[in-house]
Amino acid sequence: MKKIIMYSSPSCPHCHTAKDFLKKEGIPFIDKNVQNPEI
């Protein structure tokens, strides 16, 4: 399976929806906060 890297913002409602879906389906992903200067 390919890795999913999700670039998101804590204030983004669409990001929360997508992350909730991935978690519900048991799909592993890496969450990268775009507001973090280290990415």
Domain of residue 37: give its range: 1-39
Cα separation, 1 vs 8, whole angstroms: 21
pLDDT tens digits for 1-39? 789 999 999 999 999 999 999 999 999 999 999 998 776
pTM: 0.79
First-to-last alpha carbon distance for the chain, in angstroms, is 23
Cα–chain center distance at 14: 10
How many folded domains does the chain comprise?
1
The pairing of beta strand 5-8 with beta strand 30-33: parallel
Instruction: Supply the CATH number for residue 4's domain.
Output: 3.40.30.10
> Hey, what amino acid is at 31?
D
